[in-house]
Amino acid sequence: MGRTGMSLSINEGELHELRVMSRSSKLDHRYVVRSRIILKLNEGKSYDQVQNELSVSRAAVAKWKSRFLEQGLQGLRDRPGRGVKPTYTEQDRARIVQKACSSPEDGHTGWSQRRIASELGMSQSTVQKTLKQHALKPHKTEYWCGKSTDPEFEAKMLEVVGLYLNPGENALVLSVDEKTQMQALDRSQPELPMRSGQPKRHTATYKRHGTVSLIAALSVHDGEITADTMDKNNHVNFLKFLKKLHRKYPDKHLHIIADNLSVHKHHKVKAWLKSKKRVTMHYTPTYSSWLNQIEIWFNILTKDVLKGGIWHSKKQLVDQLMQYIETYNDTKAKPFDWTYNGISSRSKKSLH
């Protein structure tokens, strides 16, 4: 005959907590079962009834009843030392961290979680958990602006930033640079369009239709882009573009920001600049072309146009580039919110 149940005389606070536990979807299931055992016993149900309704053993019913009577809700918790002992020690985890922070010696550039696990004879899940605990991501690389070797870095930097912040009366600040070797790539088979549950698809094989270079000027304080395509990046095309800017803005003093590329300092370019009182050239410090805001726009161009593009001819790429620039000027052109932190030698560039 089954043992007769009896009320456990639970107070209101404990009863409320047990009911919350018994309905929880976030607690481990074992705690939910333990709370339900106590609640059913408190309803006066027998061991057999609790066992059948919750699919637990009589020993489990007796154990958690006894623990609850001795310690209350605290008695339903696991005691220290419960469960499987960890397979790996702190020394093992330290080896994972050390390996992730070291350079491979087998020709690889960096580490993957799988290769670390294989090298150390551990499971990949252990490696993943350990790296996560230490906020280590061996697969990820961040770039930062290294310190320029230019002895005149500060003076040149302040000159460029000063033009951004306070260009002066009747001045127009233009950031100029070239984006070269843009490939007009075509695919060997037509693109398969995106559909529900599947992205658009390209064949891995492609045809080359040549390369295109773009020279562009960003009007810093209104965001307008002036650009031309060209086959070669040389001083002839650079000077031709400067003359175009000179004609386009006849009533402004042009302050042109460019990097230290040799074509920007060709003697014919310098001779032309010397003859033009309305044009002043400003060069960014060595290894500091990131100071030039046109680089921000080139990133936008890459994302909006070049990434994943398919062109059946070089002319098609040229036409799309020029169409995009026209659309950009009509709909998106605006000044960049550009900041420079001189202490950390980093720059943050963002478009709002």
pTM comes to 0.61
Report residue 252's pLDDT band, with 50, 70 and 90 as the boundaries.
very high
Least-confidence region, from 157-166, 197-206, 291-300, 324-333: 197-206
Q: How far is CA 85 from the centre of its chain?
A: 38
Give per-residue pLDDT as tens, 35-66: 999 999 988 888 999 999 999 999 999 999 99
Say whether pLDDT at 2 is over 70. Answer: no
Say whether pLDDT at 77 is over 90. Answer: no
Residues 6+ apart with CB under 8 A from 332: 223
Least-confidence region, from 99-108, 162-171, 208-217, 280-289: 99-108
Cα separation, 336 vs 154, in Å, equals 22
What is the pLDDT, as a whole number, of residue 303?
A: 93
Mean pLDDT of 122-134: 91
What is the pLDDT, as a whole number, of residue 253?
A: 96
Give per-residue pLDDT as tens, 284-326: 998 888 899 999 999 999 999 998 888 889 999 999 999 999 9
Cα separation, 125 vs 170, in Å, equals 63
Phi and psi at 72, nearest 5°, equal: 70, -145
What is the pLDDT, as a whole number, of residue 322?
A: 96
What is the pLDDT, as a whole number, of residue 147?
A: 73
Helices (H), 224-290: 235-248, 267-275
